[in-house]
């Protein structure tokens, strides 16, 4: 694992972001993939890969941004 990344596990389920959760959050926020990427400090290709299920976000700052956006909808 690289520095600044998070390995989610059963103890911390909120850190696990799969393609469904990411796409659902983006759509609930009414954002395009480009807007969503800018809001969380990621790139558009990263968002595309996450939503396609090819990769999962691991950088701590991205996961924190995702959690903050999700909490804002609650």
Q: Residue 5's beta-bridge partner residues?
A: 59
Please choose, from the candidates 74, 69, 73, 26, the residue with its C-alpha nearest in 3D space to the C-alpha of residue 46: 26
Question: What's the total number of domains in the chain?
Answer: 1
Which parts of 1-74 fold into alpha helices (H)? Answer: 19-28, 33-40, 44-52, 60-73
Joined together, the tokens standing for residue 31 give 């954002």
Residue 52 lies in a domain: yes
Residue 8 lies in a domain: no
Q: Provide the pLDDT for residue 16.
A: 82
* Structural domain boundaries, residue 36: 32-74
Residue 15 lies in a domain: no
10-residue stretch averages of pLDDT, the chain, 74 residues long: 55 79 97 97 97 92 93 89
């Amino acid at each position: 694992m690289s520095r600044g990344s998070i390995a989610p596990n059963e103890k911390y389920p909120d850190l696990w972001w799969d393609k469904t959760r990411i796409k659902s959050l983006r759509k609930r926020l009414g954002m395009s993939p480009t807007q969503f990427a800018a809001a969380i400090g990621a790139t558009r290709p990263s968002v595309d890969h996450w939503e396609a299920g090819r990769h999962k976000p691991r950088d701590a700052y991205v996961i924190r941004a995702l959690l903050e956006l999700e909490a804002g909808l609650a």
